[in-house]
Amino acid sequence: MSPLQTDIWTLNMGPQHPSTHGVIRFVLKTDGEIIADADPDVGFLHRGLEKIAELVPYPSFMPYTDRLDYLAAINMNWAWALSIERLAGIEVPPRAEHLRVITAELNRIASHLISVGALASDMGAFTPFVHALRDRERINDLFEELCGARLTFNYCRIGGVSLDAPPGWFDRVRGFLDYYEPMIDVFNRLITDNKIFVERLRRVAPVSAEMAIAYGLVGPNLRGSGVKFDLRKDEPYGIYPQLEFEVPVGRGYRDGVLGSCFDRYMVRIEELRQSIRIIRQCLDRIPEGEIQAKVPKVLRPAKGEVYCRTEAPRGEVGFYVISNGEKTPARVKIRTGSWSAMSIIRELSKGWMIADLVAIIGSLDVIAPEVDR
């Protein structure tokens, strides 16, 4: 008898598929439900942001950074501001540094809520996503009160921040933290400890520490593989060196395999607690004073170059900026966490089922604007 012959099918997943988390397309080659190849087809959301950065004055690029990762706009703002501050030798007032950390960590919580909630929804559990959105809306209310926006905040400025906190805002932030910290346990009871959810993730697509480093994974995806690296600790910036917090790493949660989809998920859950811890310290010690350094009306940094990277919710976001002494940069290159995460999906998905690819993409927390820029 001749061996059973099977056909390889070519399927499109995206660019409108809800589980690709944006306009991203994967060209799948499958043997039945088993993936033989998953070729990412990106560029549907390309807007030429690096070129735009070279055409507008340094401060004018700040609103564009909101669009790099619309779920973590504050972190994108801060990375650009910090890059130019280092290039131009600008010192940020202490109060502005505290406001940056408070808002960046609030934004990290909001971003992780979308990540873990959407992953649960991808796995077929819709209710946890609604819980995550409810709590994220409370953070959006705080941001709206602070700067008038709920998504693209445009809050940081080169040399500081755009607005000081309104009266009573810090108390309302503290009230949110008091409310939300116990809600993490509620969320865990709702989905993290759910047997079906755990089984869908805990041994799926493990990434070893060596593989994570080789593919340039960053942020929770790198730490999910057991690599304890966080720019807030290892290359600290702002006031992070003065703050106490832990760096969660994967450890084979729920008797699984180190670096699995579930480890990447759990790292984000634990980071929610650490962000709360960081914000509380800032609220306890925030000083009075200015929120903006004196910056020339037309900023012309001296000739030179800088590469500045910060720890955004999806890991390292870095700006390489070259100045030729003019009011616009000579060259800008942006590195984002989703781009490196996208690079590993093809290798990681081989041999898994189509349903597992949904889990892999969700656990890597890929977002289209960071990939295409």
pLDDT score at 3: 65
Of 191, 193, 206, 130, residue with least CA distance to 360? 206
Cα–Cα distance for residue pair 68/330, rounded to 1 Å: 20
What is the number of domains present in the chain?
1
| Beta-strand relationship, 304-312 and 315-323 | antiparallel
Q: Are 109 and 138 in contact (CB under 8 A)?
A: no
Q: Are 178 and 330 in contact (CB under 8 A)?
A: no
- Residues of the domain holding 183: 49-345
From the CB of residue 305, how many other CB atoms can be counted at a distance below 10 Å? 14
3-state secondary structure the chain: CCCCCCCCEEEEECCCCHHHCCCCEEEEEEECCEEEEEEEECCCCCCCHHHHHCCCCHHHHHHHHCCCCCCCHHHHHHHHHHHHHHHHCCCCCHHHHHHHHHHHHHHHHHHHHHHHHHHHHHCCCHHHHHHHHHHHHHHHHHHHHHHCCCCCCCCEECCEECCCCCCCHHHHHHHHHHHHHHHHHHHHHHHHCCHHHHHHHCCCCCCCHHHHHHCCCCHHHHHCCCCCCCHHHHCCCCCHHHCCCCCCCCCCHHHCCCCCHHHHHHHHHHHHHHHHHHHHHHHHHCCCCCCECCCCCCCCCCCEEEEEEEEECCEEEEEEEEECCCCCCCEEEEECHHHHHHHHHHHHHCCCEHHHHHHHHHHHCCCHHHHHC
Let me know if residue 364 belongs to a domain.
no
Cα–Cα distance for residue pair 111/313, rounded to 1 Å: 7
> Which CATH number goes with the domain that contains 231?
1.10.645.10
Let me know if residue 202 belongs to a domain.
yes
Cα–Cα distance for residue pair 126/120, rounded to 1 Å: 7
Cα–Cα distance for residue pair 223/344, rounded to 1 Å: 15
> One digit per residue, pLDDT tens: the chain, 373 residues?
456 677 888 888 877 777 777 788 888 898 888 888 888 888 888 888 999 999 999 999 999 999 888 889 999 999 999 999 999 999 999 999 999 999 999 999 999 999 999 999 988 888 999 999 999 999 999 999 999 999 899 999 999 999 999 999 999 999 999 999 999 999 999 999 999 999 999 988 899 999 999 999 999 999 999 999 999 999 999 999 999 999 999 988 887 789 899 999 999 999 999 999 999 999 999 999 999 999 888 889 889 999 999 999 998 999 999 999 899 999 999 998 888 888 898 889 888 898 889 999 889 988 888 887 7
* Helix 169-187 and helix 261-285, axial crossing angle in degrees, nearest 10: 160
Let me know if residue 31 belongs to a domain.
no
Of 8, 5, 6, 4, residue with least CA distance to 30? 8
Let me know if residue 361 belongs to a domain.
no
Q: What is the pTM of this model?
A: 0.92
Burial class of residue 92 in the structure, from the number of CB atoms within 10 Å of its CB (0-12 exposed, 13-18 middle, 19+ buried): buried
Let me know if residue 220 belongs to a domain.
yes
Let me know if residue 20 belongs to a domain.
no
Q: Which residues touch 249 (CB under 8 Å, ≥6 apart)?
A: 223, 224, 226, 227, 228, 267
Q: Are 227 and 212 in contact (CB under 8 A)?
A: yes
Cα–Cα distance for residue pair 83/323, rounded to 1 Å: 11
Let me know if residue 250 belongs to a domain.
yes
Q: Are 311 and 287 in contact (CB under 8 A)?
A: no
Of 194, 212, 220, 151, residue with least CA distance to 365? 220
Let me know if residue 210 belongs to a domain.
yes
Tell me the β-bridge partners of 292.
160
pLDDT score at 1: 46
